[in-house]
Amino acid sequence: MAVTIRLLGLFRQYGLPEPWEVPAGERSIGELLAEMEEKAHAGYIPIVNGERKSKTYIPAEGDDIKIMPLVTGG
Amino acid sequence: MYGYWGKLLRVDLTNRVCRTDDIPEETFGLLLGGSALGAKILLEETPAKVDPLSPENKLIFAVGPFQGVKFPGNGKWSVITKGPLTGTFLESAGTGHWAPYFKQCGFDAVVFEGRADSPVYVFIKDGGAEIRDAAFLWGKDTIETGELIKEDLGDRRINALNIGPAGEMMHPIACISCDGHSFAGRGGAGAVMGSKNLKAVAAWGTRDVPVHDPEKAAEFARETFTLLSGQGEKFRAHGTPRVIVPLEGIGDTPIKYWRGDENKRGASLLGAPRYTEYLKVKPLPCINCPIGCHRHIRFEYPDGTVLEGNGPEYETIGMMGSNLLVEDLGAVAKANDMANRLGIDTISCGAWIGFLMECWEYGWITPRDTGGLSLKWGDPDVLLALVEQIGTLTGMGGWFREGIRGAAKKIGREAEKITVEVKNMDYPAHDPRAVYALGVNYAVGTRGACHERGNPQTSALGGYFPELGQDGPYDRQTPEFAAKTAVAHQDVSVLMNCMTICQFMMGGGGLTLTEIRTAYRYLTGKDVPVEDLVKFGERAWQLQRIINVRDGLDRKDDTLPLKMAVPAMVGPRAGKTPTPHDRILDDYYELRGWDRNGVPTRERLEALGLGRFAAFLP
C-alpha cells in the first residue's frame, strides 16, 4: 500500500511530486528525504497524524504525513 | 514561587536611588512575564500620550521564567516603553548573553525612571544595582562600549545592553545592542535610553532561581537542547540568509522599495549558500542556543581592509540589499556594521534609503538636496553614504528626526503616498502581497508594522501549529485565511516574548508548544494545557492594544499602505493583493473580540481575566 507525503512550504520548490506517494513499511522518512534535504539546505520535522516523529519513522498504511521545513528568517 | 523571584528592581535615575518592589505571584499566573509584564507596568505607571523622550516615560527590561535555568533559547530579553517612532507602545526584544545573568541577580524586571543629570551606566548585581558614571563611554559605538564596560568592571564575563551615538542623540530608530550581535532593533528604544542619559545596563548575577523539580527540569533541558541542535543543524549552517532565495521565489522579499516584482539574480548573489562562502561565515550563538543563527563574518575588501564581526541577517539583506537593488554583499555587510556600531535599526534605515531613491527617481529631491549625490538604485556607495547620514541625522538624514512621515512631509509633492509603514514604523522585509496575513498583521501591530509579533511569513515556508488543531499552513493568498493566520501567529510569537524564549527555537529548531508546556511544568509546578499557554500571548496583545487605544489609536491607524493594493505585473505576486483590507480587518477584530473601531471589548477582556484593565480604555 502507498502512503501520501505532503511537503510543505519551501520543500515544494524541489521538484518532488505533489502529492508524493511512497510505499508503506519500507524506507524511513529520513531515507526518503535525504537527497532533498541536502539540495534544500534545510532541515525538517515529520508531522505524522498531527504529531512530531523522528526521521527514522517508517511510514505505515493510513498515516497522514506532512513535512515541515525548519528554516526561518527575519 | 518557582521560576520567578517576584522582585522588580526600580532605578530612579533623577535621584540616583535603587529599590526593590515585590511582584505578586498572581501577576505571573495571569501574564507569565517578559512582554506582558512590561505592558502591565507601562499601562499602570505612565499616563496616556506621555512623551516617549520625557523623564515621565518608563523604560522596562523584563524576562520570563526560563532565564535562571538552562533552557534552549533563553538568551532573550524584552524592553518595553513608549517608543519615539510611533508615540505609543513599544516592545523590542534582543538576545545575546545578558538575560540569564540579569535574572540571576534576583529580579524578574527592572524599571528605569526619570533622567540622570549626566551620563550613567547601571550595573545590576546580586540583590541590587549601582549607578556609575558613564562620561568615559559617551560617544563610543556599541561594540567599544561593551568592551569598555568589561574593562571598567574588571570582568570579561559581564555583558551590558548599551546604546551607540544614535541613542545618545535620541535618534527615532536608535536600537539597544547586546554583545555586538543582537539588537532590540525596532522603534527607537535606544533613544529612550539616551533621553535618560543611560548609556548601558550591565548585569552579573549568581543566584539560583527556585525550580519546582530541578532534576527533571535539567534533564529535560538537556534532552531538548540535543534534539533542537540536531534538528537545527541545517539552519545553523546558513542562518537566516538561507531564506533569501526561496522568499524571493514567492515574491516575499522587498524589491526597489516595494515596486519591483522579481529579483532572482540579486537574491542568488545576496543569499545563502553564496553568502556563507563569500563572507566566510561561522555561526555566532547566543547563550544556551543550540542553533547559532547569528553570523560571524570575515571579509577582505579589494583595498585590503578587513571586516570581521557580526554579519547581516535576512532582514538587513532584504532592506539594504534587495530593497535597493544593491547586489554587492561586501557593501551590505559594511552598511550593516556601520548601522550596528552607530546603533540604528537596519530595517528602517534600509526602508528610508529606498524611499529617498524613489523620491530621487521622481525628481522630488535634487542634487541640491543631496549634496551632488545621485541616488541611483543599486549603487553601493550611495548605500554607505546614506547609512552615515541617516545614522548621524546629518544631510538628508536630518529629515528623518520624526521618522519617515516627517521626511515625507518635508519633501512634499506626493511623498506621503509612497511611504510603506504603519503608525510610522516601516515595513520589515516581508511582502503582504505574497502572504496576505502579513497585511493585517502589520496593520494591527501594537508597535507598528512588525514581523516578529505575529510572523505569518513563516507559514509561507511551511510553518504551522499542529498542536493548535491546524491541519497545515493556511493558503497564503486567500483573504478568508488572512485574519486567522495572523491571530495564530501573533498569539504564539507573543507567548514566546512573554516566556522570553527565542522564537527561532520553533521555526529553526522545531521546538513545540508541548515541549514548552513540559519544561514550564518542571520549572514552576504548573501544568498549563497548550491551548491555555497561547492565551498568555493573547493577554499580552490585548494589554498592548489597550495602550494603543488609550493613546488615541484605533481603526483609522490600522492601515494598508497604498503600494500594497498594487499587484505585480509578473512573477509570483502577479495580480495578487491582500484586499479588501477593510473586510480582513473586520474578520480580525471579530476574532480578537474588538469592536468595529478596533477597541477591545469588556467581555473579551473579562474572559481573559483582564477585566480590570478595561478601566484604562477611554
> Any bridge partners for residue B252, and if so which?
none
pLDDT digits (tens, 9 = 90+) for B340-372: 999 999 999 999 999 999 999 999 999 999 999
Ordered by start, the domain boundaries in chain A are: 2-69
Residue B127 has pLDDT above 80, yes or no: yes
Chain A: give the shortest CA distance to residue B54, in Å: 31
The residues, any chain, with a CB within 8 Å of residue B581's CB and separated by 6 or more, are: B439, B440, B443, B559, B560, B565
* Count of CB pairs separated by less than 8 Å, A with B: 103
Picking from A11, A50, A52, the nearest residue to B462 by CB comes out as A11
Residue B378 CA from chain centroid, whole number: 27
Mean pLDDT, to the nearest integer, of B28-44?
Answer: 98
Picking from A6, A50, A74, the nearest residue to B466 by CB comes out as A50
Residue B213 has pLDDT above 80, yes or no: yes
pLDDT digits (tens, 9 = 90+) for B502-529: 999 999 999 999 999 999 999 999 999 9
Residue A40 has pLDDT above 80, yes or no: yes
- Residue percentage of chain B with pLDDT more than 90: 100
pLDDT value, residue B174: 98
pLDDT value, residue B346: 98
| B18 membership: H or E segment, kind and range | strand B17-22
- Could B235 and A70 be called an inter-chain contact, meaning their C-beta atoms sit closer than 8 Å? yes
Residue of B587, B554, B592, B402 whose CA lies nearest to B480 = B587
Put simply, the chain B residues between 246 and 305 with a CB less than 8 A from any chain A CB are 246-247, 249, 272-273
Residue A18 pLDDT class (50, 70, 90 cuts) = confident
- Could A73 and B314 be called an inter-chain contact, meaning their C-beta atoms sit closer than 8 Å? yes
Which chain A residues contact residue B475 at CB under 8 A? none
Picking from A10, A47, A52, the nearest residue to B461 by CB comes out as A10
Mean pLDDT, to the nearest integer, of B436-443?
Answer: 98
pLDDT digits (tens, 9 = 90+) for B240-260: 999 999 999 999 999 999 999
- Could B459 and A9 be called an inter-chain contact, meaning their C-beta atoms sit closer than 8 Å? yes
Q: Report pTM.
A: 0.97
- Could A10 and B464 be called an inter-chain contact, meaning their C-beta atoms sit closer than 8 Å? no
The residues, any chain, with a CB within 8 Å of residue B603's CB and separated by 6 or more, are: B593
Kindly list the distances between the CA atom of residue B417 and the CA atoms of B347, B359, B442, B560, B562, in Å, as whole numbers in the listed order: 20, 11, 18, 12, 7
d(CA B409, CA B416): 7
- Could A50 and B464 be called an inter-chain contact, meaning their C-beta atoms sit closer than 8 Å? no
pLDDT value, residue A73: 81
pLDDT value, residue B217: 97
Chain B: give the shortest CA distance to residue A4, in Å: 14
B457 close to A (CB below 8 A): yes
Picking from B242, B461, B503, the nearest residue to A9 by CB comes out as B461
- Domain range A2-69, its CATH number among 3.40.1280.10, 3.30.1540.10, 3.10.20.30, 3.30.420.10: 3.10.20.30
Q: Nearest-CA residue of chain B relative to A8?
A: B462
B504 close to A (CB below 8 A): yes
Q: Write out the residues of chain A at the interface with chain B, using a CB-CB cutoff of 8 A.
A: 6-11, 13, 37, 40-43, 45, 47, 50-52, 66-74
pLDDT value, residue B312: 98
- Could B451 and A74 be called an inter-chain contact, meaning their C-beta atoms sit closer than 8 Å? yes
d(CA B174, CA B189): 6
